[in-house]
C-alpha cells in the first residue's frame, strides 16, 4: 500500500469514533500494542528530546525501503507513534520525503503535533524525513 492509501485507511478507521474519548482509548490501545523497540536502539543518539515526553526513533534500510521502530515514555505519544510508523515504515525513501502529515489533522490529533505540546512528535516527523533524505542520498551515490 502507498503512504496515501494507508493514511486514508487510518482516516476511515477514526471516522467510526463519535467522540474524543473513543479516539483516545483507541490511541492508548495502539500505544500499548506498539512492538517494542530493541533496547539497544534506545540510545541518546536516537532520543528526541521533547520538553515533556521522550521519543526514541530508529530507522533501518531494508532493500529499497526504510523500516522504523520507535518508543516513548508517554502512552498517548506512543499511540501516535504507532500511527506514524504504520504510515511511514516499510516505504521507499522518496515516498517518505514527499508524503505529508495532513491525515493527523483529519483524525483529530492536530494538537498533539503542535510545537507547544513539546512531546517530541514534531521532531519525530522531522527525523523520519531526515532518515529518508539520508538513505536517499546514500542510494544515489
Partner 1 sequence: MLDIQKIRADFPILSEKVNGKPLIYFDNGATSQKPQVVIDAEAKYYQEINANIHRGVHTLSQLATDAYEISRVKLQHHINAKFSHEVLFTSGTTHGINLVANGFASILKPGDEVLVSSLEHHSNIVPWQMLCEKTGAVLKVIPINQEGELIISEYELLLSEKTKIVTVNHISNALGVINPVKEMIAKAHAVGAAVLIDGAQAVPHLKPDVQDLDCDFYAFSGHKMCGPTGTGILYGKEAWLNKLPPYQGGGEMIKEVTFEKTTYADLPHKFEAGTPNIAGGIVLGTAVDYLNEVGFGNIQLQEKKLLEHATKRLLEIEGLRIYGNGKNKASVVSFNIDGIHPYDIGSIIDKLGIAVRTGHHCAQPIMNFFCIPGTIRASFSFYNTKEEIDVMVEAVKKAKTMLS
Question: In Å, how far from its chain's centre is CA 25?
Answer: 18
Whether residue 51 lies in the annotated active site: yes
C-alpha cell at 11: 482516516
Pick the closer one to partner 1 by CB: 7 or 53: 53
Q: Which residue in 1, 51, 115, 137 binds partner 1 (CB under 8 A)?
A: 51
Report the C-alpha gap between 135 and 90 in whole angstroms. 13
Asked whether 136 and 93 are in contact (CB, 8 A), the reply is yes
Asked whether 104 and 113 are in contact (CB, 8 A), the reply is yes
Q: Which residue in 30, 37, 55, 76 binds partner 1 (CB under 8 A)?
A: 76
CB atoms within 10 A of CB 52: 12
Pick the closer one to partner 1 by CB: 54 or 129: 54
- For position 77 contacting partner 1 by CB under 8 A, the verdict is yes
Q: Which residue in 69, 89, 119, 127 binds partner 1 (CB under 8 A)?
A: 119
Interacting residues toward partner 1 by CB under 8 A: 20-21, 24-25, 28, 51-54, 73-77, 112, 118-119
Amino acid at each position: 500500500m502507498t503512504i496515501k492509501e494507508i493514511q486514508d485507511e487510518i482516516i476511515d478507521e477514526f471516522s467510526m469514533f463519535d467522540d474524543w474519548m473513543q479516539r483516545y482509548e483507541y490511541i492508548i490501545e495502539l500505544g500499548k500494542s506498539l512492538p517494542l523497540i530493541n533496547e539497544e536502539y534506545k540510545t541518546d543518539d536516537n532520543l528526541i528530546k521533547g520538553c515533556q515526553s521522550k521519543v526514541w526513533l530508529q530507522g533501518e534500510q531494508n532493500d529499497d525501503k526504510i523500516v522504523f521502530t520507535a518508543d516513548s515514555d508517554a502512552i498517548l505519544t506512543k499511540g501516535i507513534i504507532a500511527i506514524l510508523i504504520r504510515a511511514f515504515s516499510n516505504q521507499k525513501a522518496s515516498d517518505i520525503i514527499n508524503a505529508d502529515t495532513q491525515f493527523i489533522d483529519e483524525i483529530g490529533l492536530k494538537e498533539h503535533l503542535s510545537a507547544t505540546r513539546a512531546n517530541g512528535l514534531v521532531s519525530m516527523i522531522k527525523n523520519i524525513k531526515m532518515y529518508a533524505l539520508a538513505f536517499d542520498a546514500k542510494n544515489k551515490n
